[in-house]
Amino acid sequence: MFDQFLKKTTELVTRGDSFVTATVVRCQSPTSGKPGDKAIIHADGKIWGWIGGGCAQPVVIKEALKALGDGRPKLVRISPSANNPEEGIVDYTMTCHSGGALDIYLEPVLPKPRILILGRSPVARTLAQLGSTIGYTVVVVSADAAAENPANAEIVETQDFNLERVTITPQTFVVVATQGEGDEEALEQATRTNAAYIAFVASKTKARKVFEHLQSRGASSDKVSQIRAPAGLDLGARSPEEIAVSILAEIIQIRANAAKEAAQSEPGSSLPVINDEAKDPVCGMIVNQTKTKYQADYQGRMFYFCCAGCKQTFEQSPQRYLVTASNVTFSDE
C-alpha cells in the first residue's frame, strides 16, 4: 500500500496537481482506520486510499478541501465525546456505533510556482536562473534551444513561440522577454493562454505599438489590457539583472497577496467543497445529502445518516433525536 501511495503522489506532483495527503496518526479502538493508514484527497473531493470508514471520510474530505484553500496542514480529531479544545486540532464529535476515535493529519500539496519565459534575452536568462534558485519551476521557450542553458530550467524549442507542447495553468506566470526578437509572435501566443499573469519586457512606447498590432490581428482588448508592461515592480531597475529581479519581486508579491486574500476569506470557499451537507441526528456526523443512501422521512422532513445503524436507531425513537436534529439541514423533498 505504501509503495502505491508513493507512486500515486509522485504522479500527481509530476502533473502539477493540487491534493492533500491524509495519514492516521493515532486511534482509539475500535476503529477501522489504523495508524499509518493513508489516503489522497483530490481537489474535486474524490478520495484514494483508506483512513477509515464512512463516518470518517466526509469529515476528512471537508477539512482537506479547506486545507487546499489556505495551504496549511492540520490535525483532525474524530471522537465519540467532546474534548477540551486544543490549539491546532480540529475536533469533531461523532457517536457512531464503533465508539472509537481517530487523529488524522492532513498535509496539502500544492504545485511549485511556474514561470514560463518566452525569449532568450539577457533578462530571460537571468530570470530563469533566479527562478530556479528559489525553487520555482522554470520553462524557457525559444526557437534556438542550443543557445539556452539556464540552471534547472526546462527548455522547449519551437518556432514562432508555439505553446502547444507547454503546460499552462491559471497559476502560470508568463514573461515575454524577447526584446526585439519575435515580440509580436510571442505576445500573441501568450494572450491565447489561460495564464492569469502575462508580463512584457519593453518600454511603455514599445508596448503600446505592439499592443496595437495584436488588436489589429484580433486579440481581445480585455486580454491585451491585462498584460503588464513594463514588466516587474517599479524599482528603478536599469540593467538586465535588475529588471529580472523586479519581475521576480512582482511575482512574489502577487503570490503573497493571493495567499493573504485566501486566508482572510472563508477557508475553502473557492474550492469545490461538499454541497448539501446535513448532520446525522444520531451520531452528529456531517453527511452529504446527495450521496448518502441512508435517509428517513419523518413528519414531512428528510433526515440523513452516515450508516444503516444510525438510520435504524433514529427510526426506533425519532422524538429522542429531534433536539439534535434542529441543526440538520432539511430538504424540501
pLDDT reported for residue 262: 63
pLDDT of residue 58: 84
The answer on pLDDT for 102 being more than 80 is yes
Q: What CATH number is given for 114-264 in this structure? A: 3.40.50.720
Q: What is the pLDDT of residue 82?
A: 63
Residue 324: per-residue pLDDT: 55
> What is the Cα–Cα distance from 219 to 221, expressed in whole angstroms?
6
Q: What are the backbone angles phi and psi of residue 153, rounded to the nearest 5°?
A: -95, 145
CA-nearest of 132, 172, 134 to 254 is 172
Which range has the top average pLDDT, 5-19, 136-150, 250-264? 5-19
pLDDT computed for residue 83 by the predictor: 62
Rounded Cα gap, residues 321 and 215, in angstroms = 65
pLDDT for 163 beyond 70: yes
Where is average pLDDT lowest: 170-184, 231-245, 249-263?
249-263
Q: What is the mean pLDDT of residues 99-116?
A: 88
Q: What is the pLDDT of residue 280?
A: 82
Q: Is the pLDDT of residue 195 over 60?
A: yes
Q: Is pLDDT above 60 for 267?
A: no
- Domain ranges within the chain, ordered by starting residue: 2-109, 114-264, 277-327
**pTM for this structure?**
0.64
Q: What is the mean pLDDT of residues 97-119?
A: 86
- Average pLDDT score over the chain: 82
Question: Which three cell numbers, joined as nine digits, stand for 324?
Answer: 439534535
CA 244 to chain centre: 27
pLDDT for 116 equals: 94
pLDDT at 168: 84
Query: Is residue 268 over pLDDT 50?
Result: no
pLDDT tier, 327 (very low <50, low <70, confident <90, very high otherwise) = very low
pLDDT tens per residue, range 26-72? 888 767 778 999 999 998 889 999 987 667 888 899 899 888 877 88
Which amino acid belongs to residue 84? Answer: N
DSSP 124-180: HHHHHHHHHHTT-EEEEEES-GGG---TT-EEEE-GGG--TTS---TTEEEEE--TT
Average the pLDDT over each of 72-86, 261-275, 293-307, 312-326 and give the range with the smallest value.
261-275
Indicate whether 182 pLDDT > 60: yes
* Of 265 and 261, the one with more pLDDT: 261
Model confidence band, residue 217 (pLDDT cutoffs 50, 70, 90): confident
Minimum mean pLDDT among 2-11, 93-102, 186-195, 199-208: which range? 93-102
Gap between the Cα atoms of 51 and 312, Å rounded: 25
Q: Which of 37-41, 132-136, 149-153 is predicted with the least confidence, judged by mean pLDDT?
A: 149-153
**Per-residue confidence (pLDDT) for residue 323, from 0 to 100:** 63
pLDDT digits (tens, 9 = 90+) for 292-314: 888 998 888 889 887 787 888 88
pLDDT confidence of 286, banded at 50, 70, 90? confident
Of 31, 23, 24, the C-alpha closest to 100 is 31
